[in-house]
Amino acid sequence: MTKESRRARIKLRIRKRIKGTTERPRLSVFRSNTSISAQLIDDIKGLTIVGLSSVKLKLAAGQTKSEVSKVVGLNIAKLAQEKGIKELVFDRNGYLYHGRVKALAEGAREGGLVF
């Protein structure tokens, strides 16, 4: 079993239980080797409400990947609150809740989101 197929199985298991609505959208995280991105998704309408990536933010080069992830979490929380969203469900997208994914979630919580 490859890493990709393992993650795909975990992702399906998570997505069976997690659905984003208009009131509580799904915060989906994508992590690559160099960047991290997050989206707020309404699964009922099939819309992405807000999306943000560390590539778009053009953060300082001296920061670690975890620090960058936390900043992305804070910024996604700010954008969500501008849209009137305070509660959401967290979709780790098959990644372990550890490191950069955890830092993004903690940043979003610090920004005022509840999940």
Structure tokens at 30: 């994508």
The answer to the question of residue 69 being in a domain is yes
Residue 61 vs residue 45, higher pLDDT: 45
How high does pLDDT run on average in the chain? 93
Residue 35 is part of which domain span?
A: 3-110
Residue 100 vs residue 61, higher pLDDT: 100
The answer to the question of residue 29 being in a domain is yes
The answer to the question of residue 33 being in a domain is yes
What is the count of structural domains for the chain?
Answer: 1
pLDDT in tens, 10-23: 999 998 999 998 89
The answer to the question of residue 39 being in a domain is yes
Q: What angle do CA 51, 74, 109 make, to 5 degrees?
A: 105
Q: Is the pLDDT assigned to residue 106 strictly greater than 90?
A: yes
Find the CATH number of the domain harbouring 66: 3.30.420.100
The answer to the question of residue 115 being in a domain is no
Model confidence band, residue 59 (pLDDT cutoffs 50, 70, 90): confident
pLDDT in tens, 65-90: 999 999 999 999 999 999 999 999 99
Q: What is the mean pLDDT of residues 38-64?
A: 90
The answer to the question of residue 12 being in a domain is yes
For residues 88 and 106, give the distance between their C-alpha atoms in angstroms, rounded to a whole number: 13
Identify the pLDDT of residue 58: 79
Identify the pLDDT of residue 60: 67
For residues 76 and 25, give the distance between their C-alpha atoms in angstroms, rounded to a whole number: 13
